[in-house]
Amino acid sequence: MKVYNIRNTQKFFEKLSASKGIVELVDRNGARLQLTQGQGRACLFPFPQIYGEIKEMELCFHCSEDCHEILSYLLNSHNQTASYMADHNVIVQ
């Protein structure tokens, strides 16, 4: 999943850290960095201390339910429907 223009990074990472499965960050070269351990274990990064805006981020979810939770959060946090995805370049792959 590619996401763009995340403004409330604390809330986004709070949702991400609640993932049940492993979540990886995919860099420009296709390399993957594991962000969460899944199964309710502690996160690998200090998400609550990350502030700012994310211009672009590609994530790989090992659990489709986690992907749906993040997508739902993104859509609901902006009180939009699927048009938010088009307007803000949210791509689910």
Position 65 scores a pLDDT of 93
pLDDT, mean over the chain: 78
Residues across the chain = 93
> How wide is the angle at C-alpha 66 spanned by C-alphas 9 and 61, nearest 5°?
90
Of residues 68 and 44, more confidently modeled: 68
- List Cα–Cα distances, 57 to 39, 40, 41, 50, in angstroms: 23, 23, 23, 14
Position 93 scores a pLDDT of 47
Distance separating alpha carbons of residues 4 and 17, to the nearest angstrom: 18
